[in-house]
Amino acid sequence: MEKHTNRTTTKKQFERMVQLLDAKPDIAKGFVRGNSASSVSFWDDLAAELNSLGPPSRDGTGWKKVWADYKSALKRKLSHNKRELNATGGGPNKLIHLSELEEQAVQLTGLTATVDGIAGSSSQGAPKAYDKENVDINSGSSEESISGINETGLSQHSQSRRPRQTTGKLLELQVKQQQQFHADVKSIMSSSNKKLDDLIHYQRQSAKALISIDATLKEQSHEQQRHNKEMERLTSEKLELKRRILEMQIAYVSEAN
């Protein structure tokens, strides 16, 4: 089987890979030795399924390398965001946004804990035991072009050391974000309630107008009926008058003869 028909892993393949690894958190985090029978069997099965979604196509080792590179890139992003949160002073927000899939991978692998305390400095020494399948975050770029990962090109060696972020400051930032979120929701709800009140007002005005129109139509119908009856009465009286005049003329002619 050709190992690389296309060097760029598709988003669908990444999503499925995360789903499969979510069922095997020990392998995802690196707890299981890479040469164990269960690990080899898992990566071979994963390769067969991901290759069916390709290209690209890879063997189990190739997909295992893609996962290691993906975790390494995520670790670099988390380290960068950690340094930005630790930074003092003003300036533009340089935090790197993580996609929903990346957030899921971070939760699955526990990468947040691996970067805690290393902000502002490069990682030295061997990786943690549960992350030993990863490529070192400062070892350079992978041969694979991983779709969906935005590499910043920032070198941790070039970053100045910054004060370590305290738990209190992180909590304060989270509280402020939650307060802003609730304020935005409250504003949206208030605007929606105002529009709903206006709609109810217009509906009531429309109902009143319809009632008024209905009353007017009924009055017009009643007046039309009264007018018709009056016209019938006048017509009847007119005919009666003509009949009497005709009788008088006949009587007069008879007396003259």
pLDDT in tens, 147-167: 444 433 333 333 334 444 467
CB of 45 closer than 8 Å to CB of 85: no
Cα-flanking dihedrals φ and ψ of residue 145, to 5°?
Answer: -90, 105
Confirm whether 237 is domain-assigned.
yes
Q: What was the pLDDT predicted at 89? A: 55
Looking at the structure, tell me whether residues 118 and 182 fall in a common domain. no
Mark whether 148 and 209 lie in a shared domain. no
| 203 assigned to some structural domain | yes
Q: Are residues 56 and 119 in the same domain?
A: yes
Confidence of residue 3 (pLDDT cuts 50, 70, 90): very low
Q: Which domain holds residue 191?
A: 166-257
pLDDT of amino acid 168 = 74
pLDDT at 164: 47
| Structure-block tokens of residue 94 | 């340089």
- pLDDT band with cut points at 50, 70 and 90 for residue 236: very high
Q: Residue 3 falls within a domain, yes or no?
A: no
- Residue 152 has a pLDDT of 36
Residue after which a domain boundary falls, among 133, 164, 195: 164
Torsion of CA 150, 155, 160, 164, to 10 degrees: 60
* Cβ partners under 8 Å of residue 100, min gap 6: none
User: Would 126 be classed as within a structural domain?
Assistant: yes
> Could you tell me which of 21, 27, 48 has the C-alpha nearest to residue 39?
27
| Domain identity same for 146 and 186 | no
Q: Residue 98 in contact with residue 80, Cβ under 8 Å?
A: no
Q: Quick check: is 2 in a domain?
A: no
Task: Summarize the chain as % helix, strand, coil (round to 5).
Answer: 65, 0, 30
Say whether both 33 and 59 belong to one domain.
yes
32-90, pLDDT tens digit by residue? 776 778 888 999 999 999 999 978 999 999 999 999 999 999 999 999 888 888 775 55
Residue 160 shares a structural domain with residue 171 = no
Q: Do 50 and 142 share a domain, yes or no?
A: yes
Inter-residue contact 169 to 86 (CB < 8 Å): no
126 in the same domain as 85: yes
Share of the chain above pLDDT 90, in %: 33
End of a domain among 102, 131, 164?
A: 164
CB distance 17 to 144 below 8 Å: no
Residue at 115 is within a domain: yes
- Based on the fold, state whether residues 123 and 209 are members of the same structural domain: no
**Count: domains in the chain:** 2
* Residue 6, Cβ density class (10 Å: 0-12 exposed, 13-18 middle, ≥19 buried): exposed
Q: 17 pLDDT exceeds 80?
A: yes
Tell me: do 112 and 173 sit in the same domain.
no
pLDDT, mean of residues 21-41: 83
